[in-house]
Chains A and B, each alone.
Chain A
């Protein structure tokens, strides 16, 4: 009888305990929501790989939210963010790609007590909008580094080719490139293309070819993605200036890495997208469980990939598809 009584008490305690725990959890039981870039870009496919691996490593569940149609991102992203906030998430991990629409929403979220961690874009905003931190590149520095390398190599007229005009983060790379070149006294040209052609390598090739013909002095090109980088190489070849134009790019692809190996492409700026996802997940885990967080901006780029380290990168690429944001 006594024993049974004890068991009953124990069961009651456990039930009560569970009840207690679940009622505590109920306050912050919402999902962990990630708002990140479109998966059609190999770059963000690697970011998601990092999120997935991080979630598995730290035993977290999360949901990945991104646009599939990239033609209207400036208004789509604030809408996605709004929807995510209204689900009262336990934590929000956000790429702040379009600050004008997204920053007020992030301020709302942080004011209402939702912890927000920024990744990839938004490096100048996270302190003001109440986020706990930032993990990613500084796009201006990415471009600046590229400009420094080209200016040092003796480029006298640089071309920055932006295939997605209107994206402030990507534009910052061109701004950085131009700033570094200007500092070294080198002139630059800024080129964009129509939005319908952002994923058409043939259209980008012909566009760069035309610009090279119209400006015979161009001897350096900086592209903002690996696909236009291949278009730039083809264009340089077609106008017969191979070897006279130094081509470098932001971000990687297998083709770009092979082109670095063969010496056609001078360098690629890696911002290590996998780390942006994985480290975001790590910070989320440590913040939610222990209240710990890194202090300040966690930089994942730029890592310069050139002939000195391209072989190792290609090797990783073969063994772990997608992790380097290139395949």
Chain B
């Protein structure tokens, strides 16, 4: 029992559970707790969750990635320009979009490791560079900054299939979460991630390839952000260079809600999953209440603050329990 309480995700789960309970009680008869309502907030959480997990691992290793926003948009535009303006087949363009994500991640990783500048600034710069390049190139090539996507049926099946109202993105989320969990909790690479974020110099002295850990995580983040761009693009039949801009801060937010420390070295994948689920519940549930939406960001902010406080309280309780 104590062991369970001490886990980083316990607080996040408690916060998620309380939030869900709150909305279940505040929205009677609107179908928020129905299968379709559940599919709704899960769809919302899944897309954010896919990118939040690598961002979380990166934050455990002590780094930030703010370039995810423009990477999502860039991937969707690569797919759009390729399948629309160049009539290219879908799958190779998906590969190219993911590759672009990997290259952006690699550039971030190398820049952070080589220059020793804070990743907060480096990736913020990348975020502007990528969205600028996406818009500039799209205008140059096709004179547009958003464009239709013509995806093949097999690609639609893989990235936009729906089971009832639940999107296949939820399965992708589960897959990314499972891989993230295996890596962080069950592999020596996972130990390296904790060590890098916990105390970088000590980790280096102990023989942990700190640079490689960071670069690999940046690449993984880029690829996952590109995957979200592909998912959104195919789902909405349209690429847009501004897709994903909201994730720049939403992803670190859900990671912190999930129990991660901003200083690095602490956290778990399950915690990030609960943090993301909580965010999905709040940002879709609030509309089921029928409250005046002028106040929505006020509610959102208050609920987030409450959720993090509850999370913190449970964690402290857990860590002091003997």
B148 adjacent to A45 (CB under 8 Å): no
Q: How large is the interface on B (under 10, 10 to 19, 20 to 34, 35 or more residues)?
A: 35 or more
Whether A210 lies near B287 (C-beta < 8 A) is: yes
**Docked CA distance A200–B283 (Å):** 12
A321 touches B135 (CB 8 A): no
Judged by a CB distance under 8 angstroms, whether B47 is at the interface is yes
Give which listed residue, B85, B128, B242, B300, contacts A194 with CB less than 8 A: B300
A40-B241, A214-B289, A327-B142 known; A200-B246 Cβ under 8 A: yes
Please determine whether B246 and A203 come into contact, CB atoms closer than 8 angstroms.
yes
Chain B CB count within 10 A is highest, among A191, A201, A213, for A213
Give which listed residue, A192, A208, A254, contacts B294 with CB less than 8 A. Answer: A192
Q: Does A238 lie at the interface of the complex (its beta carbon under 8 Å from any beta carbon of B)?
A: yes
Give the B-binding residues of A (Cβ under 8 A): 39-42, 45, 49, 68-71, 165, 190-203, 205-211, 213-215, 227, 230, 238-239, 253-255, 321-322, 327
Q: Is the CB of B145 within 8 A of A196?
A: no
Q: Are A39 and B148 in contact (CB under 8 A)?
A: no
Nearest Cβ on chain A to B18's Cβ, whole angstroms = 19
Partner of B128, one of A42, A68, A199, A214: A68
B31, B44, B145, B237: the one within 8 Å of A39 (CB): B145
**Helix, strand, loop or mixed for chain B's interface?**
helix
Given known A40-B241, A202-B47, A213-B31, contact A230–B142 (CB-CB < 8 A):
no
Which residue of chain A lies nearest to B27 when distances are taken between CB atoms in the complex? A214
Contact with B285, one of A41, A195, A210 (Cβ below 8 angstroms): A210
Interface presence of B152 (CB below 8 A): no
A198: chain B residues at CB < 8 Å are: 246
> Considering only CB atoms, which chain A residue lies closest to B243 in the complex?
A199
CB distance from B132 to the nearest CB of A (A): 6
Residues in chain B near residue A322, CB distance under 8 A: 142-144
- CB of A210 within 8 A of CB of B237, answer no
Contact A194 B297 (CB under 8 A): yes
Give the contacts of B203-234 with A (CB-CB under 8 A): 232
A239 to B145, CA, bound (A): 31
Minimum Cβ distance to chain A for residue B297 (Å): 5
CB distance from A253 to the nearest CB of B (A): 7
Q: Do A238 and B165 form a contact, CB below 8 Å, given A194-B296, A202-B232?
A: yes
Sampled A-B contacts (27; CB under 8 Å): A40-B240, A40-B241, A40-B242, A41-B242, A42-B144, A42-B146, A190-B294, A192-B296, A194-B283, A196-B249, A197-B283, A199-B242, A199-B245, A201-B236, A205-B40, A206-B40, A206-B41, A207-B284, A207-B287, A209-B40, A210-B286, A213-B30, A213-B31, A238-B40, A254-B238, A255-B148, A321-B143
> In the complex, A191→B294 CA distance in Å?
7
Chain A interface SS verdict (over half): helix
A42 CA / B238 CA spacing, docked (Å): 12
For A227, list chain B residues within 8 Å (CB): 236, 238, 240
Beyond A41-B242, A207-B284, 12 additional pairs, beta carbon < 8 A: A40-B131, A68-B135, A192-B294, A193-B293, A194-B297, A196-B246, A197-B246, A197-B283, A238-B36, A238-B40, A238-B165, A321-B85
Q: How far is the CA of A38 from the CA of B249 in the complex (A)?
A: 21
Q: Does B180 contact A (CB under 8 A)?
A: no
B residues adjacent to A (C-beta < 8 A): 27, 30-32, 36-37, 40-41, 43-44, 47, 85, 128, 131-132, 135, 139, 142-148, 165, 232, 235-238, 240-246, 249-250, 283-290, 293-294, 296-297, 300
Q: Chain B residues near A42: list those with CB within 8 A.
A: 144-146
Minimum-distance CB pairs A-B, first 4: A210-B287, A214-B290, A196-B246, A206-B284
Does the CB pair A165–B294 fall under 8 Å?
A: yes
Across the interface, B135 reaches (CB within 8 A) one of A40, A192, A201, namely A40
- Knowing A41-B145, A238-B36, the reply to whether A253 touches B283 (Cβ < 8 A) is no
CA distance A194 to B148 in the complex (A): 26
Using Cβ atoms and an 8 Å threshold, which residues of chain B touch A196?
A: 245-246, 249-250
In the complex, the answer to whether B290 meets A211 with C-beta atoms within 8 Å is yes
Q: From A40, A191, A203, A255, give the contact of B293 (CB < 8 A).
A: A191
Q: How far is the CA of A155 from the CA of B276 in the complex (A)?
A: 37
- Across the interface, B246 reaches (CB within 8 A) one of A199, A208, A209, namely A199
Q: Which residues of A contact B36 (CB under 8 A)?
A: 238-239
